[in-house]
Structure 1
Amino acid sequence: MIIVEKSLLKKSPHLHIVNKSDQQKKLPLIIFNHGFTSAKEHNLHYAYLLAEKGFRIILPEAIYHGEREQGLNETALYKHFWEIVIKTIHELNDYKEYYVNEGLVDQEQIGLAGTSMGGMVTLGALTKYKWVKAAVSLMGMPAYEKYLHWQLEQMQSLGLTLSFTDEQIEEQLSFLRQYDLSLQPEKLENRPLLFWHGIKDPIVPYHLTYQFYQSIKDDYQKTPANIRFISDAQADHKVSREGLKATVEWFEKHLLK
């Protein structure tokens, strides 16, 4: 039986999913991050399938989302986009530390995954945490600097007034660069990384993600099985069944001993 526990860590709500028969065992852990305007419960289907395979799963709630929402509409929430991404990256370490210290997680078997913004969180976390042993990005992208420029271009094309100065934009860019995996790909250290992305994605541009994959592919010449990119020619900003199954298979292959 798969159980779902609603938990709180440092005032941050999250769901803890595990097979009941494995509840007190030291297990491999996967932290799965949700997307922008989504919530932790929306990824329970991933968690269920992964728990069936013997993983312990944590579904965090990002700040300003779900139980942590503060009544912001989508436009107001969008202004906090990068704050949400960076804060989520920092909070990942709290979950890792807690469950390892409780003796419930093998620290040599920890994976990260996420959809859309959650995929971006996953890729940014790879610049900070060596404890991440394998990762999956679903519709995410690592080039934070390029994506911020793309966001600004989109806002201007929609006729939206930018509420920040050039100096503020540069300050934001300077801050984001330290989490930008495309600027420091050596931090991957050949760790297993799977990408899934729809070619028609209007929210997170496919080309930015695929360009990064092409730029790092040669770094995996000695470990080609550790890198994979699945392109879906028909998909927009919604992960297919194939992407779901590939996520489970990736962690089965690269995290289970």
Structure 2
Amino acid sequence: MIIVEKGLLKTKPFLHIVKKDRQQQKLPLIIFVHGFTSAKEHNLHYAYLLAEKGFRVILPEAMYHGEREQGLTENALYKHFWEIVIKTIHELNDYKEYYVNEGLADQEKIGLAGTSMGGIVTLGALTQYKWIKAAVSLMGMPAYEDYLHWQIEQMQNLGIGLSFTNEQIEEQLSLLRQYDLSNQPEKLKNRPLLFWHGKKDPIVPFHLTYQFYQSIKNYYEKTPANIHFISDAQADHKVSREGLKATVDWFEKHLLK
């Protein structure tokens, strides 16, 4: 039997999913981060399948989303995009620390995954935390600086007025550099990493992710099974069932065996 519990850690709401008969055991841990304008409950299907395999799964609620929302419009929320990404990266460590310290998570078997913004968070977190042993990015991308430039270009093309100065943009770029995995791929250290991305994605450009994947394959020459990219020629910004199953299989392969 799989149980779903609501939790609160340092005022941050999250969902905890685990097999009932293994609730008090030390288990491999997966933290799964939702996408922009989404909420933690939207990834329960991932959590259920992972829990069935024997993982303890945490679905955190990102700042300004779900139970933490503050009534912002989508346009207003978009202006906080990178603030949310960075804040979420820092909050991940709170969940890891809590479950490891409580003896409920095996610190040698911790995985991180996410969709869209959650995938972006996942790839940025790999620059910060050695405790991430395996990761899955679903529609995410690691090139923070390039993506910010792309976002600005999109807003200009849509006639959306920029509410920040060139100085503020440079300040944002400076902050993002320390989390930009494309500028520090050596921090991967051969950790298992799976990508899934639709070629028709209009939200997170496929080419930014695929270019990075191509650029890091040399780092995995001795461990080619640790890196994989699944592209879907027909998909836009929605993960297919293949992507769902591949995520579960990836963690089962790299954290349970």
1:53 maps to which residue?
53
Alignment of 1:68-107 (within 5 A): 68-107=68-107
Counterpart of 1:117, as a letter, is M
Residues 14-41 of structure 1, C-alpha deviation per residue, up to 9 Å, x if partnerless? 0000000110000000000000000000
1:29 maps to which residue?
29
Residues 55-89 of structure 1, C-alpha deviation per residue, up to 9 Å, x if partnerless? 00000000000000000010000000000000000
| Paired residues, number | 257
Alignment of 1:52-201 (within 5 A): 52-201=52-201
Can you give the 5+ residue segments of structure 2 that lack an aligned partner in the other structure?
Answer: none
What SS does the corresponding residue of 1:238 show, helix, strand or coil? Answer: coil
TM-score (norm 1): 1.00
1:19 maps to which residue?
19
What SS does the corresponding residue of 1:179 show, helix, strand or coil? Answer: coil
1:8 maps to which residue?
8
What SS does the corresponding residue of 1:108 show, helix, strand or coil? Answer: strand
Moved over 4 A (4+): none
Q: How far did 1:129 drift?
A: 0.1
Aligned mates of 2:161, 2:104 — CA distance in 1 = 49
Counterpart of 1:160, as a letter, is I
TM-score (norm 2): 1.00
Aligned mates of 2:162, 2:245 — CA distance in 1 = 40
Residues 141-178 of structure 1, C-alpha deviation per residue, up to 9 Å, x if partnerless? 00000000000000000011111111110000000000
Counterpart of 1:67, as a letter, is E
Residues 110-146 of structure 1, C-alpha deviation per residue, up to 9 Å, x if partnerless? 0000000000000000000000000000000000000
Q: How far did 1:218 drift?
A: 1.2
Aligned mates of 2:164, 2:64 — CA distance in 1 = 21
